[in-house]
């Protein structure tokens, strides 16, 4: 049976698995250059591709299987070692979602609310995308589908104030987790990044200094161009985890290897479709094996 990972990373997998099959065996001249080019084609980035091909070469594999095994090891060794489980402690626990426009924030929150409901938790969805009335409506509609309660800010309101009030509302009503949706913003919009930083500070205050999950949602379709986004967001607000949305439709899933490695922030969740159940805790080993190893 094919795993969820070989299904969702199908397009990226096509680039890699077929390419690896077509490569000369490791003992042939040019093998490592070809391998490096293949990794670049899968959007792993030139520097990381060189480093990974070098690691495989250092292991002196004699067969294609040995080379692939060395590649899987090399990739796993550059990925983040930070824990991937969402940290959901606190009174209430809080998860803040942010990212560029259309990345998949609202959808990911809807799916996570559903997942938490099935685990017996009682999440409150806080719709703090106050820039667009439709943004609030979309979040509230997802919360309803998930069977979760929601708390909406007024359109044009201050998102930080909505988060503060949302946390208080959650406490009063006995919700154990707050999931906060924010407006899409580009990494080049300095004011909006500052606004996000303020949302983070106010969340800390509302939680009496408690920690919260701070998740940058990336559109997997964009590949390596997400690296610049991630760097800029990370400067504005400490990122505790990544959400890789739309992995099912991306041919550039390889980029996550370089992004994780550079930021040392783990992908915690992956969006694998448009349905309410299409969210998976990220499993790097299964993901990497699905990219390079045929089943
Ligand atoms: N195939 C697929 N589509 C997804 C996934 N996640 C989100 N989408 C689609 O991507 C589009 C944008 O998703 P939203 O959740 O609205 O994105 P957003 O980040 O909230 O967007 P803004 O609020 O406008 O910034 C929608 O059409 C979703 O159905 C996924 O994992 N797989
Ligand atoms: Mg949204």
The SS3 assignment for 273 reads coil
Average pLDDT in the 78-104 region? 96
Evaluate if residue 1 carries a pLDDT over 70: no
105 Cβ inside 6 Å of ligand 1 = yes
In the chain, where are the structural domains located? 4-78, 93-283
pLDDT the model gives residue 2 = 60
Percent of the chain with pLDDT over 90: 83
The rounded radius of gyration (Å) of the Cα atoms in the chain is 20
Provide the CATH number for the domain formed by 4-78 in this structure.
Answer: 1.20.120
Q: Per residue in 40-88, pLDDT tens?
A: 998 999 999 999 999 999 999 999 999 999 999 999 999 999 999 999 9
248 Cβ inside 6 Å of ligand 1 = yes
State in Å: Cα 120 to ligand 1 middle.
25
pLDDT the model gives residue 71 = 96
Beta strands 149-152; 241-245: pairing state: unpaired
pLDDT bucket at 284, cuts 50 / 70 / 90: very high
Alpha helices in the chain (DSSP H): 4-8, 10-22, 31-41, 46-58, 64-78, 105-118, 133-146, 159-173, 190-206, 226-236, 255-263, 284-292
Evaluate if residue 15 carries a pLDDT over 90: no
Average pLDDT score, the chain: 94
Q: Per residue in 201-260, pLDDT tens?
A: 999 999 999 999 999 999 999 999 999 999 999 999 999 999 999 999 888 989 999 999
Q: Per residue in 176-188, pLDDT tens?
A: 999 999 999 999 9
Provide the CATH number for the domain formed by 93-283 in this structure.
Answer: 3.40.50.300
State in Å: Cα 106 to ligand 1 middle.
7
pTM above 0.85, yes or no: yes
Q: Which of 109, 137, 274 to mutate to test the pocket of ligand 1 (most atoms within 8 A of CB)?
A: 274
């Amino acid at each position: 049976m094919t795993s969820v990972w070989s299904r969702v990373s199908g397009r990226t997998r096509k680039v890699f698995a077929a390419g690896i099959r077509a490569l000369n065996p490791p003992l042939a001249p040019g093998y490592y250059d070809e391998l490096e080019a293949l990794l670049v084609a899968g959007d792993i980035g030139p520097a990381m591709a060189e480093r990974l091909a070098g690691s495989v070469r250092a292991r002196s594999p004699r067969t294609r299987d040995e080379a692939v095994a060395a590649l899987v090891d090399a990739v796993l060794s550059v990925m983040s070692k930070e824990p991937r489980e969402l940290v959901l402690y606190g009174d209430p626990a809080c998860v803040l979602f942010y990212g560029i426009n259309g990345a998949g924030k609202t959808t990911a929150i809807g799916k996570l609310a559903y997942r938490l409901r099935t685990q017996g938790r009682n999440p409150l969805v806080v719709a703090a995308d106050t820039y667009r009335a439709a943004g609030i409506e979309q979040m509230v509609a997802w919360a309803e589908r998930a069977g979760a309660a929601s708390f909406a800010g007024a359109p044009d309101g201050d998102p930080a104030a909505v988060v503060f009030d949302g946390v208080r509302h959650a406490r009063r009503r006995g919700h154990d987790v707050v999931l906060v949706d924010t407006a899409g913003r580009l990494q080049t919009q300095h004011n909006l990044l500052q606004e996000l930083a303020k949302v983070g500070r106010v969340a800390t205050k509302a939680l009496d200094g408690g920690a919260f999950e701070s998740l940058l949602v990336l559109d997997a379709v964009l590949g390596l161009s997400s690296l610049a986004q991630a760097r800029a967001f990370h400067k504005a607000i400490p990122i505790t985890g990544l959400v890789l949305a739309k992995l099912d439709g991306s041919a550039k899933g390889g980029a996550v290897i370089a992004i994780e490695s550079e930021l040392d922030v783990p992908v915690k969740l992956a969006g694998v479709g448009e349905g309410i159940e299409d969210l998976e805790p990220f499993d790097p080993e299964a993901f990497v094996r699905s990219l390079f190893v045929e089943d």
